[in-house]
Structures are given as structure tokens and as C-alpha cells.
A and B are shown apart, each in its own frame.
Chain A
Amino acid sequence: MSRTLILGTLVTLALILLLSEVGRREETRLAAATRLDQARRIEQGAALYAQNCRTCHGVNGEGLGALGPPLHDAHFFTGRLQEVGWSGALHDYVVATIAAGRVTATRPLYAGDGVVVMPPWARANGGPLRTDQIEALAAFVLNWEATALGEVVLSPLPTPTPPVINDSAQVARGRQLFTEAGCTTCHGEDAAGVEAAGPSLLGIGAAASDRVPGVAAAEYLRASVLTPAAWVVAGYAQPGACAAVVSDAQLADLVAYLLTVQ
């Protein structure tokens, strides 16, 4: 009998100790769990972004020409709400935009020809994503803030693109590719341009260097080949896709040629 009582007292004491330990730790656990939940959302959002968004907004949210605006720039985090007259929080704006899509663009660059510029993504609107997936995407997009505002600098991509060395052999390869890949269709033989179809590229190396502030000539040309609609010269139609440039090396060759074409 007394053994039972002693055991019972010990067990009760241990229970009280355990419960107070559980209670003591709970606040810390909740704080950590909240951070972990956010981390989980961002990870999930990153995977969804890679699946659904990067073909228009770019792998790193840099935007792809006329296909999709950049999400990873300071303007998006500081001026976008004012630009569209949204009075709520940026998070709600992002969630609403992903869920409902956009029928017309808010900037002239992006479409305006009557087609839907951004499809709706929420299931309720006929899209493929659940509410929690849209929340995860928003968490991922908003996580660009620190790098967009320059508060955090990421380590540079460790896979370097082949350098534009601009030697005669590379320029010659680029010249050949210019014809073979079909650039001449719009830009004409010898890159002299075709009226209404594509501007002349003669001297583009010098022109490209100061066309877009902060974008170097080689970068401007590289981006324009990948996404012809990135920067459209006034007076020319929205271009369609360019013919295939299949490898990074070919892209470097082509850029080397364009930098030198006079």
C-alpha cells in the first residue's frame, strides 16, 4: 500500500515537472514554428514559381521583356502599389494578382492587344492553384525584397556564361550564325534592317551601351536575342520569338558579332 502511495506521489511530481517544462518551452516553440512555417511556404513557393511563373517573369524574377514584368526590383517593392493605386498591403496585392490574373496590362509594354496578359491561377477562377499554393507563391515573391532593395547581396552564380572575347574567329562564327539562325529575316542581310520588320543593327554595339541605363552593351544584346520583345525600338511591331540559338557559346558568338557589326 505504502509502495503504491510513494510511487503515485513520485509520478504526480514528475507529471507536474513535465507539464511545467512543456509550458515553459511553448512560447519559444511557437516563435520557432512560425518562422519555420514561413520557411516552408517560401520553399514551396520557390518550387511553384519554377513550375509556373519563370517562363514569363524570369528564373530570378528579373522579368522577361514584354512577357512579364520584373518582380525582383526595387520598384516592385517601393513604387508598385502607388503605380496601380492599390491601397492595401503588397502581400494582398500579390495574392490578388496571382489569383485573378490580369486582363489588361498596367503598362503599355505588356500586351494591350486584347489577349489576357496574365492568366488567373486560382482554382476558383479556373486556374490550377489552391489557395495555400498562392499564399506560398506570394511568400516567395515577397522574399525578394531584401535583395531587390540591395540589403542583401547573393553570391554570384557559380556557372559563368562563356565570355565574349571578340576575336575574329568568334565574330566569324557569330556572322555565320546570324544567317543560319534566321536573324536576317527581320534584320536583313548584313544587319542593315528591314523596313517595319526589324531595325538596322549597324553600330548596335555603340548604341546598345547607353540605351538602357545600367545595362551594358553585351548584356543588352544577350537579353534582346533571348527575348526579342525585351526592348522594342519605336516604330517596330512587337516581335515574335527569334529562331533558335541553342547554346550559351552560340549566344556569346552572336553577341560578339553584333558588338562589332558596322
Chain B
Amino acid sequence: MSGETTSDDRAGREAHGIFAGLSWREVRALLRGDPPTARPNPRYRAHVNSFLLHIRPRYYPAAATRLTHTWFLGLLAVFLFVVELVTGVLLMIFYAPTPEQAYGSLLAIAYHIPFGALLRDVHRLAAEAMVVVVVLHMARVFVTGSYKGPRAFTWLTGVLLLLVTLLLSFSGYLLPWDQLAYWAVTIGTSMAQAAPLIGPELNLLLRGAAEIGADGLLRFYLLHVLLLPLAGILLLAVHYYRVARQHGISLPAAVEEGNLTPAARQAATQKIDFLPTLFLRELVVISAALLALLAAAFYFFEAPLEQHADPFHTPLNTQAPWFFLWVQGLLKLGDKTLMGVIVPVLVFLLLAAVPYLDRNPARRWQRRPLALTLGLTLMIGVGILSYMGTASYGITLPPAVGIGETLAPEEGEGALRRLPYAALTPGSHALDQPFPPTTSPALQSALTTYAGLVEAAVTAGELPQGQAFLDIVERQADLKAVTLRIQWQPPGAATPLAYTRTIYLHRERNADATAQNP
């Protein structure tokens, strides 16, 4: 009995530093959900002793922590940020920010480094999720009217954090040094060029030269791994310290302004301790988020990687990252300076100014019709503009090129690359002839798709007298060349025009669908 006490005490002493002055027994009680072991509550003292706990409030009013009020979005944003920091540092071990080595690093990470593919998938997925979560967090704060009064400046730091999140995502875009990266960032920085007064200087500052090259890559790398994360941490410190120390998480508007019965009001404002209730709740939420993130990255998500960046070859479809599609949509509406720079800057200024423009003190949604309508309009507008920003909107390829791009795209898979190797029966397949009986069913289905596309173009008059072929030749052991040939006779032209596109397919390509395949 006495021996037990001694070991308990010793354990308690050892645990003193780690557990912020809480005794071992107290920690055990806390994790078991038992009440405090002493009076006054030693858990409150931990908030004074520990740095990490001292920035967390000792308790919240019950209603402020309701799931349907916060949805844990702020916590999830911080969680994703930490995931980015950890996976980012691990990726930095294998990454070299030079045009000669960057793409090779990415291939090595995807193909040859243990857990490298998962690491990159998680980093990429968490980055995209972080944009979503931050936007949702902002929408939540807007809808619940939580940006009013003392929280106005907190909202402002939140808008800056949104900007940092977007810039972090965008600066990370260049690092793989693939076609997607190179051209998306070329477009992005050429928009900086269009900024009034400082445009050319800003562009030069970002690119480091007339074209993006070694200097531009290094600059984006340093922005991505150093400057922007530091800015994010600093802004997050201000943002969270205000929430924790200045004004707390807002109560639901219905609690703050509604007519509650005294009992209901008491239940809503009852204190809930951080230790243990909220701490354990957060631990569970973070573990569940980690589980979801890892499972999604492992089973469903593959971070894209296109061909090596090639300054001399503009891809057929250049598309901004999805969170900047709305800017690309704007660009299709007007000139670069107005639509590409001034309007987006105004949008962000408007967002930042929301608490200062909205003088309506009410927080309940029923009493804020104007603010909510405007907010909804902005969201719908961004949605429509994003659709207009997609590559398929308003840009059409020449018909034969379009067919080639559908079946065997420059980037990504397409119907031909998805065919099993064995299904590629060597031979020249004319689409207007019946398929020979040896043609495999998978190839027949691809040929039918191909014939359908050609026929549609012929019917539409885009490929007059169009004829199409698919040639499959075995080139090497385990390597076949697949050539699309389309020939057509434009009215008045002396000779027919032809389009050919050859892709090479190796037996191993579809051997293991679960492996990484950029």
C-alpha cells in the first residue's frame, strides 16, 4: 500500500513538467472523466503553469461550444495548418528547389521513397481542405453574426488568414515544377504584372527574371516554406489570442438576443471546463479528422503531377487552381487590370470591411436580411465566376485536336490510356469498317467512343468527309504505340487535312491501379 503511494508520488513528480503541474493522480482522473481530486480545482492552475494551456480559456459557456454553432471549424483549420507544417518539413527533406531537380524530387517522392506518396497526398489534400475549412469558418462567423462589436478586428485578422491560406496554396503550386505549376503561376504572376503603378516591378520581384525560372522557383519556395507560414503563425497568434482572451467564442445569437426561460439561459451559459471536457472533445475531433484525412489520402486521393514544366509548350488547357477559378472567370469578362487585379482586391477589401460597413447591431439571421442576401449573392457570384473560369467554358479546341485530347489527353489518362495492355490488338482499325472479330471488347468500346466523337464532328460539319483510324503497333517488348489518325477534306482545299497523335503505352501502366500514376 505504502509502496504504491511512493511510486505514485514519484510518477507525479516526473509528470509535473509534462502535465503542467498536475499530479499523476489528477491526470488519470482527468483522462477518466472523474471530478478533480482536490479543491480548489487544480486543473485551473494548469492554465497558469503551462504556456500551451494558458492560451486556452479555463472554461466556455455551454452554448458557445455547441457543435451546431462552431462546427469545430477554427480548430480544424489550425489542425490542418499543423498537418501542413509537419508534412511540409518532411517533404522538404526530399525536395530541391531548382528547375533541374524539383520534378525529379517529386517523382522520387511518389515512386521511390517509403510512404512518400502518402506524405505528398496528405500535404496536398490537407492544403485543399484547409482552404475549404477556412472559407467555411468565415461563412459560419458571417451567418451567426459573430463578427460584430468587439470581434470586428478579429474578423479582419481572419480575412488576412484567409489570404495567407490562399497564397500558401498558390505558392505551393509552383514547387512540383510540372506543366500545371509552371503555367498556372505564369498566369498568376502575369496578373501581378497588370497591377496599376507597381505591376512590372511586382512581377519582376515575384519571378526574379522576365520568365519564371530558377529565381522564380526559389522565391516561391521561400515564400511557401518560410515567409507565409511565419505570417500565418503570427496572424493566428493575434487571431486566437483575441478569441481566447478578449471576447471568447460568441454565444449563439438566439442565446444572446432571444427570449429564453431562465432555466434555458442558465443551461446555455453554464460553464464547461476546458479540462477535461473540451480538451478531450478536441482530442477526439482531431483524431477523427486525422483518421479521415489519412484514409481519404490513402484510399481515394492522388496528388496530381503533370509532365515536366516546358516553357516552350503551352498546354491545351491551362486552368487556375480551383480556389482562384473565380479570378480566371473574371478575366474572361474584361481586361487584366480591372478584372484580374482591381476587382479581386476590392472583393478582399470588402470582406475585410464587413464589420465596419454593417452597422446593424442585431445578430439573429431573421433581423439581418440585407447582410445575408449580400453574402449569399457574393457566394453565388463566386460560384458562377468559378464555373466561367473552367477551361471548358468559352474555349473550344479545333475539332480533331479536341477528339485527340478527349481520348489521349496531354495530361491525365483518357480512354486509350485506360485500356488494358492485352486489349490493344495490333493493327490498323478503320472506324468506318466493321471491327475484326479479334478486336477485344475493351478496344471495341474505345473505338465506338472514338467513332461517336468523329461522327458528331462530321455531322456538325466540322470535319467534312472525315475519316478516322486507330493504329496499334507493337514497338518493343511490353511497349505499344497507339496512333489516332483523322483525315478530312475542307471544302475548297486542294488536299485533305490530317491530324495524328501517337501515344506509347507500356504493359506496366495499368498493372497496379493502386500505385501512384502521375
Q: Which residues from B are CB-within-8-Å of A144?
A: 476
Q: Do the beta carbons of B283 and A132 come within 8 Å of each other?
A: no
Closest to B502 in A: A50
Closest to A23 in B: B115
Contact residue among B118, B290, B477, B502 (Cβ-Cβ distance under 8 Å from A22) = B118
Q: Do the beta carbons of A155 and B515 come within 8 Å of each other?
A: no
* Contact (A4, B281) CB under 8 Å given A30-B114, A43-B505, A154-B474: yes
Contact residue among B287, B471, B475, B506 (Cβ-Cβ distance under 8 Å from A12) = B287
Q: Indicate if A8 sits at the interface (CB-CB under 8 A).
A: yes
* Contact (A42, B114) CB under 8 Å given A7-B284, A36-B515, A36-B517: no
Q: Do the beta carbons of B473 and A33 come within 8 Å of each other?
A: no
Among B438-454, those with CB < 8 Å from A are: none
Q: Do the beta carbons of A46 and B117 come within 8 Å of each other?
A: no
Q: Do the beta carbons of B33 and A5 come within 8 Å of each other?
A: yes
Q: In the complex, A1→B308 CA distance in Å?
A: 53
Most buried by B among A36, A47, A131, A143: A36
Q: Which residues from B are CB-within-8-Å of A55?
A: none
Q: Do the beta carbons of B426 and A158 come within 8 Å of each other?
A: yes
Q: Do the beta carbons of A131 and B100 come within 8 Å of each other?
A: yes
Q: In the complex, A46→B481 CA distance in Å?
A: 9
Most buried by B among A2, A8, A33, A35: A33
Q: Among A13-21, A110-118, A219-227, which stretch is in contact with chain B?
A: A13-21
Q: B517 → chain A, closest Cβ, in Å?
A: 6
* B403-432 interface code vs A (CB 8 A; 1 in, 0 out): 000000000000000000000001110000
Most buried by A among B476, B478, B504: B476
Q: B349 → chain A, closest Cβ, in Å?
A: 42
Q: Which residues from A are CB-within-8-Å of B280?
A: 1, 4-5, 8
Q: In the complex, A50→B277 CA distance in Å?
A: 67
Q: Indicate if A11 sits at the interface (CB-CB under 8 A).
A: yes
Most buried by A among B475, B481, B511: B475
* Contact (A143, B478) CB under 8 Å given A50-B502, A130-B100, A158-B428: yes
Q: In the complex, A137→B509 CA distance in Å?
A: 18
Q: In the complex, A2→B288 CA distance in Å?
A: 17
Q: Do the beta carbons of B115 and A22 come within 8 Å of each other?
A: yes
Q: Do the beta carbons of B477 and A152 come within 8 Å of each other?
A: yes
Among B276-317, those with CB < 8 Å from A are: 276-277, 280-281, 283-284, 287-288, 290-291, 294-295, 298, 308
Contact residue among A4, A39, A46, A151 (Cβ-Cβ distance under 8 Å from B284) = A4
Among A194-250, those with CB < 8 Å from B are: none
Contact residue among A11, A18, A39, A50 (Cβ-Cβ distance under 8 Å from B508) = A39
Q: B320 → chain A, closest Cβ, in Å?
A: 26
For A, the interface residue count at a CB cutoff of 8 angstroms equals 49
Q: In the complex, A87→B268 CA distance in Å?
A: 82
Q: Which residues from A are CB-within-8-Å of B474?
A: 154-155
Q: A42 → chain B, closest Cβ, in Å?
A: 5
Q: In the complex, A132→B307 CA distance in Å?
A: 11
Among B145-187, those with CB < 8 Å from A are: none
Q: Which residues from A are CB-within-8-Å of B118?
A: 22
Q: Indicate if B267 sits at the interface (CB-CB under 8 A).
A: no
Q: Do the beta carbons of B295 and A33 come within 8 Å of each other?
A: no
Q: Do the beta carbons of B117 and A33 come within 8 Å of each other?
A: yes
Contact residue among A12, A37, A159 (Cβ-Cβ distance under 8 Å from B112) = A37
* Contact (A43, B103) CB under 8 Å given A26-B114, A36-B517, A155-B474: no
Q: Do the beta carbons of A158 and B427 come within 8 Å of each other?
A: yes
* Cβ-Cβ contact count across A and B, 8 Å cutoff: 139
Q: Which residues from A are CB-within-8-Å of B291?
A: 11, 14-15, 18
Q: Indicate if A38 sits at the interface (CB-CB under 8 A).
A: yes
Q: Which residues from B are CB-within-8-Å of A8?
A: 280, 283-284, 287
Q: Do the beta carbons of A43 and B504 come within 8 Å of each other?
A: yes
Q: Indicate if B479 sits at the interface (CB-CB under 8 A).
A: yes
Q: Do the beta carbons of A60 and B115 come within 8 Å of each other?
A: no
Closest to B287 in A: A11
Q: Indicate if B516 sits at the interface (CB-CB under 8 A).
A: yes
Closest to B508 in A: A39
Q: Do the beta carbons of B476 and A33 come within 8 Å of each other?
A: no
Q: Indicate if B495 sits at the interface (CB-CB under 8 A).
A: no
* Contact (A37, B104) CB under 8 Å given A5-B280, A12-B287, A19-B294: no
Q: Do the beta carbons of A36 and B516 come within 8 Å of each other?
A: yes
Contact residue among B103, B115, B294, B502 (Cβ-Cβ distance under 8 Å from A47) = B502
Q: Which residues from A are CB-within-8-Å of B294?
A: 15, 18-19, 22
Q: A128 → chain B, closest Cβ, in Å?
A: 9
Q: In the complex, A161→B511 CA distance in Å?
A: 34
Q: Indicate if A181 sits at the interface (CB-CB under 8 A).
A: no
Q: In the complex, A60→B294 CA distance in Å?
A: 46
Q: In the complex, A77→B347 CA distance in Å?
A: 64
Q: Indicate if A52 sits at the interface (CB-CB under 8 A).
A: no
Contact residue among B117, B287, B428, B473 (Cβ-Cβ distance under 8 Å from A29) = B117
Among B363-404, those with CB < 8 Å from A are: none
Most buried by A among B32, B283, B287, B514: B287
Closest to A144 in B: B476
Q: Indicate if B435 sits at the interface (CB-CB under 8 A).
A: no
Q: Do the beta carbons of A42 and B514 come within 8 Å of each other?
A: no
Q: Interface on B for A, CB 8 Å cutoff?
A: 32-33, 100, 103-104, 107, 110-112, 114-115, 117-118, 276-277, 280-281, 283-284, 287-288, 290-291, 294-295, 298, 308, 426-428, 471, 473-479, 481, 502-509, 511-512, 514-518
List 13 other contacts, CB 8 Å, given A1-B280, A29-B516, A60-B475: A5-B280, A7-B288, A15-B294, A18-B294, A18-B298, A36-B509, A36-B516, A47-B503, A132-B103, A140-B479, A155-B474, A158-B426, A159-B471
Q: List 15 A-B contacts (CB under 8 A).
A: A5-B32, A8-B287, A11-B284, A15-B291, A29-B515, A33-B111, A34-B111, A35-B511, A37-B107, A40-B506, A43-B503, A46-B504, A143-B478, A155-B474, A159-B471
Closest 9 CB pairs of A and B: A39-B506, A39-B508, A46-B504, A32-B512, A146-B477, A1-B33, A32-B515, A37-B111, A152-B477
